[in-house]
Amino acid sequence: MTNSVLIVLLLSLAINITVGGYFRILAKNQYEPVAFNFWASSCFVYCLGLLGSALAISAPGISALGAVAGLLYLTASFLLLHGFLSFNIQCVRSTVKRTGNRVFVFAVLFIVGVSWYPDLVEPATSFFIALMFLFCFQSFQSQQWKTIQGVSVLLRGILFIHFIIMMARAGLTTGATHYGLASNLQLFITICVGLHVLLCLATSALLPFIILSKEKGEWEAMANFDELTGVFGRRAFIRTVLKRLKSKSRRPFTLLVIDIDFFKAINDNYGHPEGDKVLKSVAQCLQEQLREGDIIGRLGGEEFGVIISHQQPHHAYAIADRLRESVSALSILSGSESINVTISVGMSSSNNVEDTWNTLFDRADKELYNAKKGGRNKVSPEFVAETKLA
């Protein structure tokens, strides 16, 4: 049985060296270098742990070798966790990182403290490694990561399987000597190491797919969203309108074309950086006032578009007027001065099956002209709103 354990250890050693080298190549080519350096280090430290285990098997009289190997395995899982934490930092809960760090420090102290009791080192190490895999699982929130469908779920599944295996190993090694399970335990450890090899290969195969899909998501975001304001760009907004027009349900909706009044004067008086601040503030204000399902985009310059779903035209007017009032209440600081802005809004409802983007926009643009001609800070056409929407 000892020979079979050594064979599996050597196989795992060869695979982890290969995978670690593969991760280092990806890091050098600037593919998420921080994350892949962590993952490469995890593989190499795990290899040191395998060497420590091999020495412990060859020299059973040196009990400290088992504790050293356990600490190396624990460190490898800790580095794996930090690879995930650094891969997409905006999606990571800070509590996961803090808890992971504290557990690692406690685990190191605990394993060092029980190193004189070899029967406790193995279950303690397995337990703390299981916790590290659980933290990896928690840090990898599938609904937040922009990945190819199914890949993120599969990777989370692999991490959770690792957690289950290490917890089972911790449970079986606890008191194994007292219950005469030592022979069966060696078989189980061999199986665990073998499963680790398979899971390591699966993980190394999945991570590059996640990188590609993450980059794809970033490119799509750059193409779909306006960099300054964070709302949809012109093309993405028009594409959304076209989808609404082609939808079989064809629920009524209204296109609002919104223009910031006297925006050129703001740029001339305060400078373009302050003009950009006004654009961002207005976009944020409009976005905060919209309901779920309403969509906003920047059509260009100081002009925004909004799609409002509604049941009656006066409902759309009530929302448009609420947007106007919210913007007029804004006070945007520029040094010691305060910039007050207003908007003019043109409305065009889609009630005709023959409507296109051009017909909708042309009608809304004409109404925007009427709102400006009528004195600005207005919504056109005007409706008598029966009730203001909350």
Write b or e for each residue in 54-84: b if 16 or more Cβ atoms lie within 10 A of its Cβ, otherwise e: bebbeeeeeeebbbbbbbbbbbbbbbbbbbb
Under DSSP, the state recorded for 89 is G
Using alpha carbons only, give the angle 50, 88, 166 rounded to the nearest 5 degrees.
Answer: 30
The Cα 23–Cα 4 span in angstroms is 28
Q: What gap in Å lies between CA 170 and CA 87, rounded to an integer?
A: 29
HSE-up of residue 18 (Cα within 13 Å, Cβ side)? 11
- Token readout for 76 is 């490898």
Q: For residues 44 and 72, give the distance between their C-alpha atoms in angstroms, rounded to a whole number.
A: 10
**Which one of 302, 325, 354, 367 is the catalytic residue?**
302
Q: What does the DSSP 8-state code read for residue 291?
A: P
CA distance 80 to 103: 14
Residue with tokens 């356990």: 70
Using CA atoms of 235, 287, 222, 219 in order, give the dihedral in degrees to the nearest 10.
-100
- CB atoms near residue 140 (< 10 Å): 23
Residue 340, classified by CB atoms within 10 Å of its CB into exposed (0-12), middle (13-18) or buried (19+), is exposed
Beta strands in the chain (DSSP E): 253-260, 295-300, 303-309, 332-334, 337-339, 343-350, 379-380
**Secondary structure (3-state) at 247:** coil
CB atoms within 10 A of CB 15: 18
Q: Would you call 302 a catalytic residue per the annotation? A: yes
Catalytic residues: 302
